[in-house]
Structure 1
Amino acid sequence: MRGLPEGQHLSEARFLTVAEVAVALRVSKMTIYRLVHSGELPAVRLGRSFRIPEPAVRDYLSRVLDATS
């Protein structure tokens, strides 16, 4: 995972669950798990669950949209 954006403190960081990202992208949770396990979508593992930094989702979408245009 990349560090926090310059000037952002950990208390300001926003992390999303796999379910939240799946709903936002309108895909299944399994799709998000595949992206996390492949390394395409950075995530932090907390116990048995993953948390995905909000900027990582925006970066992923930017890469995907750039690749399709």
Structure 2
Amino acid sequence: MGEILTVKEVAYLLKTTRQQVRKMIQDGELPAVKVGREWRVTMEVLAEFVSAV
């Protein structure tokens, strides 16, 4: 299993806002897992997302 990123880390890597990342997760564009009250995205999923765009 690879690195697990927070919404804040994903937003930094994508050069966007945390709100936009949460919207992408909610809309199903970016697969994520909810851990407690926070969303987490694996580095592999993020890489696939970026390459697909």
Relative to the length of structure 2, the TM-score reads 0.92
Give the strand-richer structure, 1 or 2: 2
Structure 1: 4+ residue segments shifted above 3 A: none
Q: Which has the higher contact order (CA 8 A, sep 6+)?
A: 2
* One of 7, 29, 32 as aligned partner of 1:18: 7
Unaligned runs of 5+ in 2: none
Identity %: 34
CA distance in 2: counterparts of 1:59 and 1:30, whole angstroms? 21
Q: CA RMSD in A?
A: 0.9
Q: Which has the larger radius of gyration?
A: 1
Relative to the length of structure 1, the TM-score reads 0.72
Query: Corresponding residue for 2:48?
Result: 59
